[in-house]
Structure 1
Amino acid sequence: MTITETKPPHSNELPETPDHDAHAPSRWGPKLWGVLFVAGLAMFLDALDVSMVGVALPSIGAELGLETSSLQWIVNGYILGYGGLLLLGGRMADLLGRRRVFLAALVVFGLASLVGGLVDNEGLLIASRIVKGVAAAFTAPAALSIITTTFKEGHDRNKALSIFTVFGATGYASGLIVSGLLTGIDWRLTFYVPTVVVAAVIIAAFFVIPKSEGEHGRIDFGGAVLLTGGMLAAVYTIVTVPEHGFTALTVFTTIAAVILIAAFLVLENKISEPLVRLGILKVKSIVRANLAAMAIFGSYISFQTIVSLYLQNTLQWGPLQMALALAPAGIIVAILSPLAGKFIDRYGTTPMIIASMGSFVLGYVWFIVRAGDSTPAYFVDYLPSFLLLGLGFAIGFSATMVQATEGIDDDEQGLASGLVQTSGQIGGAVVLAVVTGLISGGVTTGIGQYTPGLYLVTVVAIVGLLASATALLGRRAAVEAA
C-alpha cells in the first residue's frame, strides 16, 4: 500500500500540471450516473440532517428545557460519533466491501433517526445522535471511496466530486427550508424525515452500487477505540472547563485524552495494518487538505449554530424566517459546485482552496461588522455574508476532497476519504465546543454574547487560509531555485 510517486504535486510540491492525455474525459453511461446519484444521496442525507437539526435547536431547547451548553451536545454528539469512527468506517469499506458497509450503515442511520424523534429524555436524545453519527461514519467514507474508485483520477473524478458537492448543497438548502416548515409544527418531524430518505437510498443502492469483495487484511479495532476515546475525552474537557473550571473530572479527562491519543499514535506506528498509515501524512498536500477541511467545517458548523441561536433567541425570528435567511448559501453551492471540477482542472486545487478560505474570512468579517441588535436590513447586513460563505464552500469542498485523495492507491481510498472527513468533523467538534464555552453564561446580551464566538470562527478560517497559502509560497521558491 504505497502512495503513487508519479504525481509532481506530491513528490516535490511543484505547480499542479495535469496530464491531459492520462486524465482525458470519458463518456459516462447510465450505470456511472446511477452510482454517482446514489453515493450523492448519502451526502445529501448528511447535509440534510445537519441543517435541519441546526434550525430546530432553539425549539428543542425550549421544549426539553436545555441550556446552550447542553444543546451543543445534540450537534457534537453526532459530530463525535461521526469523526471518531470515520477512519474505521473508511478502513472497513476497503476491507469488507464498500457496498456491504454502505447498506448496513444506512439501516442503522435510519433507525437512530427514528429513535431520536421518539424520545423525551436529554440523555437518550444525545445518545441517538451519537449512534446516528457512528452510522454516518461508515456511510460517508464508503460513498466517497465508491466515487473515487469508480471514476478515474483527473477530469472524471474532479467532475464527479463537484457533482457530489451539489448533493450536499441541495441537502443543506432543503434541510433549512424543510426544518423551518416542520419545526413550526413539531421539531420531532425533523428527525423523521431522514428516515424516509434513508429507505429510498437503501432501495436504490441495492440495485445500483456494484458488489465489491474488499481487500484482504485486518481491522485495527484497538486504534479505533483509542482514537474515539481520546476525542471524546478531549472535547468533553473543552466543553466543560469554560463553565466549571478544572474539576477533578476535567483533570482526569484531560490526562485521559493525552494518554489515549498518544497511545493511538504509538500503536499505529507499530502494527502492520494500522487504522491510519502514518506515512500518508508525510505528503504535504494531503496534510494541507486535511487542515483546510478542519478550517471549513470547524468555522462553518460553529457559525451556523451561533446564527441559529442569535436570530431565533435574540432577534425572535421564527424557524422558517431563519431558514430562508440562510438558504442562499446552499443555493450558491448548488449552482456553482458543478463548475468546480472545471476550475480544478484549469487552476489546480491549491488556488481554489485559498480562494475558498478567503471567501469564508470575508463572510465572517462582514457578519461581525454588520450584525447588531436592531432590526437588520437583511439584503445589506446579512445576505452578502451568507453568499460569501456559499461561494467558499462551493469552490473549496470539491478542491479539498480532490487534493486529499490524489495519488492514493485504490486500496487506500477509503483511508484517505475517511481521513479528510475525520479532519472536518474533528474541526467541527473542537471549534464548536470552544465556541459554546465562549457564548454560554456570559454577562453580555444581544449580539455581544455571540461576538467572541464569531471572532474565533474568523480566526479559524484565517488559519486555514494561511496553511493553504504556504503551498504557493513553497512552489514559487522551488521554481525560482530550479
Structure 2
Amino acid sequence: MRRSPWATLTVLALAQFIVVLDVTIVNVALPDIQSDLHFSTDSLQWVISGYTLVFGGFLLLGGRAADLLGARRVFVAGLALFGVTSLAGGLAQSSGLLVAARAVQGLGGALLSPAALSILTVTFEHGRRRNIAMGVWGGLAGLGGTLGVVAGGVLVDSFTWRWVFIVNVPIVIALVAATPLIVRHFPPRAEGRSFDLPGALLGTGGLLALVYGVVRAEPVGWASAEVVGCLAGGVVMLAGFVVVESRAEAPLVPLRLLRSRALSTAGGALALDGAGFLSMFFLTAIFLQQVRHGSALHAGVEFLPMGAAAIAGAGAATPLVTRFGTRPVQMVGAVFGVVGLVLLAQAGAHGSYAGGLLPGLVLFGAGITSLAVPAQIAAVVDVSHEEAGAASGVVTAFNQVGGALGLAIVSTLSTSKANAEAAAGSSPTDALVAGFHRGLLVAAGFMLLALATTLVAPRLSPAAEQIADAAVA
C-alpha cells in the first residue's frame, strides 16, 4: 500500500504540535489550578517542571527505544500514553495526582517526539523535500508554543482549567487511529544495542531529587535533613549516572561528545536559555492574573507579541549565522534576553501594558530564539555525521532539564521574597510584585550566564548546507 509522505508529515507535525502546546498551554491555567487543587505557592511549579524534567530526562531513552523497537511502534505507544495521562490530568482531584499525571505525560512526549523525528527523516530523502518537511515540522512546533497561551486562556475562561488537558484526548485518538493507515512501518535500526535504562533512571532520578530539594528549601529551610538529604542523594545519583555512561557500550549520553567545546558550550547556553524562558513564563503568567487581575484569555493575548518576536528571531537567526557565524548571533540573543527581563522586572501592579510589559516581552521573545537557533546549529556541526543525532538529543535534553532546574530556583527565591515582604507588613499585591521582580532578576542572571558561556564558545561559520544538515540531526 502506497502512503503519502505529506500525509505522514501531517500526522507527525500534529503530534509534535500538541507536545509543544502542552508546555505553554498550562501556564495561563496555573492560578485556577492552584485555587482548585490547593497547591501551595512553592509546589505549583511542579505542574510545569514535572512535565519538562521527565520529558528531558527520558528524551534520549525515547530515541533509543525508537531505534531498537521500531519508530512507528514507539510513536504510537508514546501518543497513547500522552493521551491517557492528559485525561488523567484533566480529571485529577488532588495536586499529587495532577503532578503525577504531568510527569507520566512527559514520558509519553519523550517517547513520541524522537520517534516522530526519526520517521520524518527516513520518509523524506535528503534535499529540498526534507528541508520543506523540516520547515513545516519546526514551524508547527513553534506555532504550538505561541498559540498555547491563547488556547489555554480560551479554554480556562470558557470552560475550566481541566480542558487544557482534556483537549488533547480527541486529537490523540484521531492520530492513533490514523497512524497505522498513513505512516509506514520502519524496522528497528539498532539491533544489538541496549536501552541503557540504568543511565536514564539515574540521570532523571538525580535531577528530580535536586529539584525537589531546592523547592522544599523555602518551607523547611536549606539546613533541614530533608533538603540536605535530597540534594546529596541527587548528587550521588548524578555521579552514578556519569559512571554508568562512561562504562556502557552504548550510552545514552556519549561522554566523549562533551569534550567538544562547541557542543558543551552550546548545551550550557541552551540549559540557561531554558531556565530563563520557563521561569519568565511561569512568573509572568501568574503576575498578569493575580497581580494585574487579567483573565486567563487576556493573559494569553498579552503573551502573543512575545511569541511573534520569538518566531521572527528564529527566522532571522539562520541567515545571520551564515553571514556572521554562531557566536555573535548567540551573544546578541543573550543580550536581548537580559535586557528584556530587566525591563519586565520594572513592571508594577498598575501602569500600561504597552509601556510596562510589551517592550520586555518582545525583546525577551526575540532573544531566546536568537540564542537557541545558533546554539543548536553549533552543537551538531562540529561532530561527525553519525553522532549528530545523539548530539542534538543531548542539547535538547539540556534545554528541558535546565528549564526545570532554573524554574525550581527562581520559584523558591521568588516565593521567599514574597513571604518576607508579607511578613514585614506589605500588602499581598506589593509582596507578590516584589517576588515577581526578584524572580525575573534571577532569570536575567541565568541569561547573563548564558552570555558568559557564549563568550568562551568557538566561533563557527557553517555553510548553508551544514545548517540544513543540522536542522535534521
Under TM normalisation by the shorter chain, which class is it?
0.7 to 0.9
Offset of residue 448 of structure 1? 1.0
Q: Which residue of structure 2 aligns with residue 18 of structure 1? A: none
Equivalent of 2:404 in 429, 439, 442: 429
Aligned equivalents of 2:42 and 2:34: distance in 1? 10
Matched, 1:235 2:211: yes
Q: Which residue of structure 2 aligns with residue 8 of structure 1? A: none
Aligned equivalents of 1:189 and 1:310: distance in 2? 22
Aligned equivalents of 1:420 and 1:193: distance in 2? 30
Gaps of 5+ in 2: 422-430, 462-473
Q: Which residue of structure 1 aligns with residue 436 of structure 2? A: 450
Q: Which residue of structure 1 aligns with residue 167 of structure 2? A: 193
Q: How does 1:197-236 map to 2 (within 5 A)?
A: 197-203=171-177, 205-206=179-180, 207-208=182-183, 211-216=186-191, 217-236=193-212
Offset of residue 235 of structure 1? 0.9
Matched, 1:415 2:415: no
What is the identity, as a one-letter code, of the residue corresponding to 2:236?
Answer: I
Q: Which residue of structure 2 aligns with residue 141 of structure 1? A: 114
SS of the equivalent of 1:215 reads coil
Q: Which residue of structure 1 aligns with residue 465 of structure 2? A: none
Preserved CA contact (<8 Å) 1:144 1:417: no
Offset of residue 428 of structure 1? 1.0
Percent identical across equivalent pairs?
Answer: 34
Aligned equivalents of 1:470 and 1:40: distance in 2? 36
What is the identity, as a one-letter code, of the residue corresponding to 2:188?
Answer: E
Equivalent of 2:280 in 285, 303, 310: 303
SS of the equivalent of 2:107 reads helix
User: Which stretch shows the higher mean deviation, 354-363 or 390-399?
Assistant: 390-399
Aligned equivalents of 1:31 and 1:407: distance in 2? 34
Gaps of 5+ in 1: 1-29, 476-482
What is the identity, as a one-letter code, of the residue corresponding to 2:283?
Answer: I
Distance 1:399 1:104, change over 3 A: farther
Equivalent of 1:353 in 308, 330, 342: 330
Q: Deviations over 1:289-314 (max 9, x none)?
A: 21122122111111011101111111
What is the identity, as a one-letter code, of the residue corresponding to 2:345?
Answer: I
Q: Which residue of structure 2 aligns with residue 392 of structure 1? A: 367
Offset of residue 40 of structure 1? 3.2
What is the identity, as a one-letter code, of the residue corresponding to 1:253?
Answer: C
SS of the equivalent of 2:42 reads helix
Preserved CA contact (<8 Å) 2:318 2:373: yes
Distance 1:117 1:352, change over 3 A: same
Q: Which residue of structure 1 aligns with residue 82 of structure 2? A: 109
Q: Which residue of structure 2 aligns with residue 362 of structure 1? A: 339
Q: Which residue of structure 2 aligns with residue 312 of structure 1? A: 289
Aligned equivalents of 1:170 and 1:281: distance in 2? 31
What is the identity, as a one-letter code, of the residue corresponding to 2:168?
Answer: P
Aligned equivalents of 1:32 and 1:328: distance in 2? 34
Equivalent of 2:91 in 108, 114, 118: 118
TM-score norm. by structure 1 comes to 0.84
What is the identity, as a one-letter code, of the residue corresponding to 1:177?
Answer: V
Q: How does 1:55-70 map to 2 (within 5 A)?
A: 55-70=28-43
Preserved CA contact (<8 Å) 1:162 1:341: no
Distance 1:154 1:294, change over 3 A: farther
Equivalent of 1:82 in 52, 55, 78: 55
Q: Which residue of structure 1 aligns with residue 356 of structure 2? A: 381
Pick 1 or 2: higher relative contact order, CA cutoff 8 A, min separation 6.
Answer: 1
Q: Which residue of structure 2 aligns with residue 479 of structure 1? A: none
User: Which stretch shows the higher mean deviation, 453-462 or 33-42?
Assistant: 33-42
Preserved CA contact (<8 Å) 1:141 1:417: no
Q: Which residue of structure 2 aligns with residue 54 of structure 1? A: 27
SS of the equivalent of 2:345 reads helix
Q: Deviations over 1:400-455 (max 9, x none)?
A: 33333335566645533331121011111111111111122422214212222111
Preserved CA contact (<8 Å) 2:215 2:409: yes
Q: How does 1:211-360 map to 2 (within 5 A)?
A: 211-216=186-191, 217-245=193-221, 246-335=223-312, 337-338=314-315, 340-360=317-337
Equivalent of 1:462 in 448, 459, 462: 448
Aligned equivalents of 2:121 and 2:263: distance in 1? 15
What is the identity, as a one-letter code, of the residue corresponding to 1:104?
Answer: A
